[in-house]
Structure 1
Amino acid sequence: MTLRIAWGITGCGDYLKESVDIMKELTKEHNLEVRVYLSQAGETVVKWYKLFNELKSGFPRTFVEKSPNIPFLVGDLQLGKYDFLLIMPSTSNTVGKIAAGISDTLLSNAAAQAMKGKVPVYIFPADQKRGEITTELPGGKTLTLTMRDVDIEAVDKLRKMPGITVIGQPDEIRDIVKKHLEGRK
């Protein structure tokens, strides 16, 4: 039986290329069924990083948010059509909304409904630790960002929410996929 994953991408560029590469590798290695759901900002950032064509060729079933319910991801989550929801990478905006119980975007709504339907949610927030991070921009330049306390507090709140697992690095999805596959045996 094929593992089915709803993969949400927000407007976060940090670890975006790594996330795409890992998901492409895992899909080939384990014959996963992955459907990609881009937030409106996610589409913008994926195109800015010049990854849109690569994403579409690796994942032909890629959808872009039109509203919190279009495409109708929440219905498929509630009906058990996915084994889990993955949001990777995630902006602090999406993390803050989910932590506060706000579900006014495609991916914050999907997370809320997945939790209600007991579908596991895995999220990789780029902003997880106090201090500074250096990220690579399109074209190879780097940018140093200072994490805000409010963003770190939202991630800490997510860690305490039933049904959500915060992952520390995109590579951790490899073990999560293996765990779900082994659970099917």
Structure 2
Amino acid sequence: MTAEKAKKRKVAWGITGAGDKIAEFIEVMKEIQKEYADTVEIHVFLSKAADLVLKYYRLEDELKQNFSKVRVEVNSNAPFLAAWMQMRKYELLLIAPATSNTVAKIANSIGDTMLTNATIMSLKAFVPVYIAPTDYKEGTVYTKLPNGKEMKLRVRKEEVEQVKKLERMEDVFVLEGPQKIRGVFQKHFG
């Protein structure tokens, strides 16, 4: 390993099975990766559902071509992201996009998936967690399907209540959309 590589700080980016704005999240992260290439390494961790969704949206190859480490969940402890977060191998955990299922599990301290387990262990170790929920605000949203068509969806108050629970948790920071991720990198890495 080169001295230059050893100096790089690391971020764990978790992707859940949300299709909403997935292309935008990947685009923003590619731009951030280029901007911080000399100082930050971004490692990608996919939930089982994210792996499937990326295939549907035909984004799997793009992700693998732009990020050197892309790992897919086997179970809640494999890859062992939870331990790596506790050992501070990563400075922060970013989950973007986060499904309402993942948000509800984290808000209620259920760590039965790789990303929810890693979140809970991060928080126990005082490692900040940034989450970009798909269901941020109550109301009607339009999402783009893999075939390019739009689908109308309702974000219910029940989903938003779980997001509000996240906002009240110590060391959890909720982000409204892909563009807010830039601020996270500016805050932590200048």
TM range (shorter): over 0.9
Find the partner of 1:71 among 60, 70, 79.
79
Q: Which runs of 4+ in 1 moved over 3 A?
A: none
Structure 1 regions of 5+ residues with no counterpart? none
Letter in 2 for 1:138: P
The TM-score normalised by the length of structure 2 is: 0.94
CA offsets per residue over residues 21-69 of structure 1, 9 Å max, x none?
A: 1111111111120110000001010111000000011112100000000
Partner SS, residue 67 of structure 1: coil
Q: How far apart in 2 are the matches of 1:76 and 1:103?
A: 15
Residue in structure 1 matched with residue 104 of structure 2 by the alignment: 96
Q: How far apart in 2 are the matches of 1:21 and 1:169?
A: 12
Find the partner of 1:23 among 26, 29, 33.
29
Letter in 2 for 1:69: N
Q: How far apart in 1 are the matches of 2:158 and 2:52?
A: 25
Deviates more, 1:150-159 or 1:173-182: 173-182
Identity %: 45
Cα deviation, residue 3, structure 1: 3.0
Indicate whether 1:36 and 2:34 are aligned. no
Residue in structure 1 matched with residue 91 of structure 2 by the alignment: 83
Indicate whether 1:134 and 2:118 are aligned. no
The TM-score normalised by the length of structure 1 is: 0.96
Q: Would you say how many aligned residue pairs link Structure 1 and Structure 2?
A: 182
Indicate whether 1:180 and 2:162 are aligned. no
Q: How far apart in 2 are the matches of 1:89 and 1:146?
A: 17
Residue in structure 2 matched with residue 107 of structure 1 by the alignment: 115
Letter in 1 for 2:86: Q
Residue in structure 1 matched with residue 153 of structure 2 by the alignment: 145
Partner SS, residue 161 of structure 1: coil
Letter in 2 for 1:97: K
Q: How far apart in 2 are the matches of 1:139 and 1:44?
A: 15
Q: How does 1:161-180 map to 2 (within 5 A)?
A: 161-180=169-188
